[in-house]
């Protein structure tokens, strides 16, 4: 079974802090994704990566950056956390690369609260 893990289930940070959210998948998947999920807005794509050191902006990249130094690990970085970044963050992966039509496998999510 594909396993996608996220470093924290719950995280509380203060405004202005730099925040790192980590995601690891164990099935040698090419693509990895970061989403945020908010009530009434659904899941929205922040960034995705189709290979090591390769990234592409999603629909709402402002205020976020990402890093993919190893194939199995994809990090989401909030350079200076703000209260409007309080949300549930979900990581996902697919087996094949950039133009993949495969199903996405999701991690359990990180509930981030910025005070």
Interface positions with another protein (CB under 8 A): 4, 31, 40-45, 48, 50, 58, 90, 92, 94, 98-101, 103-109, 111
Of 23 and 80, nearer to another protein (C-beta) is 23
Q: Which of 6, 15, 11, 10 is nearest to 33 (CA)?
A: 6
Least Cβ distance, residue 80 to another protein (angstroms): 27
User: Residue 87 pairs with which residues in a beta bridge?
Assistant: 112
Q: Give the separation between CA 87 and CA 89, rounded to whole angstroms.
A: 6
Of 84 and 101, nearer to another protein (C-beta) is 101
């Amino acid at each position: 079974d594909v396993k996608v893990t996220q470093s924290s289930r719950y995280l509380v940070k203060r405004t202005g802090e730099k925040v790192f959210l980590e995601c690891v998948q164990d099935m040698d998947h090419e693509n990895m994704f970061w989403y945020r999920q908010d009530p009434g807005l659904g899941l929205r794509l922040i960034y995705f990566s189709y290979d090591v050191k390769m990234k592409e902006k999603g629909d709402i990249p402002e205020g976020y950056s990402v890093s993919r130094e190893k194939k199995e690990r994809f990090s989401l970085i909030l350079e200076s956390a703000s209260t409007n970044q309080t949300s549930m963050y979900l990581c996902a992966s697919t087996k094949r690369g950039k133009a993949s039509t495969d199903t996405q496998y999701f991690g359990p999510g990180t509930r981030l609260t910025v005070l």
